[in-house]
Amino acid sequence: GYNYEPTAAITTKIMHAQTMAFMVLALSQLVHAFNARSQVFSVFTMKPNKALIYALFISLALQLAAVSFGFTQRLFEVEFPDFKQWLIIIGLSLVPLIVVEITKIFKRKKINL
């Protein structure tokens, strides 16, 4: 018969994939929250929303805790990303910000703002 038990190598790859997906999805939503403040105006030209910034830092701390401590790593089945993985996570998490900011440029041109 076939052995369907995952090997250590497969388990490690699955955990790596879960970590990357979890981190990118969570962080991209945190970044995208700043975009949601306006459909036209750039996030870089608006006054800061202190409550949103506090919520961002609290959420970031919780997200970091999920990948930093042994018991939370086991609970969420994730691992701590290395430097290269952090660069990928940050880069991919900024994609929604960049796309929406470009969209806002076209919207502002369309309505002459």
Q: Is the pLDDT of residue 101 over 90?
A: yes
Query: What is the average pLDDT score of the chain?
Result: 92
Q: How far apart are the two ends of the chain, measured CA to CA in Å? A: 68
Closest CA to 92 of 45, 26, 14, 28: 28
pTM score > 0.75 for this model? yes
Measured distance CA(28)–CA(93) in Å, rounded? 4
Cα torsion 75, 56, 86, 103: sign = positive
User: Over the stretch 48-67, which tens digit does the pLDDT of each residue have?
Assistant: 999 999 999 999 999 999 99
Measured distance CA(81)–CA(19) in Å, rounded? 7
**pLDDT value at position 113?**
62
Q: Is the pLDDT of residue 1 over 70?
A: no
Measured distance CA(92)–CA(36) in Å, rounded? 18
78 or 112: which leads in pLDDT: 78
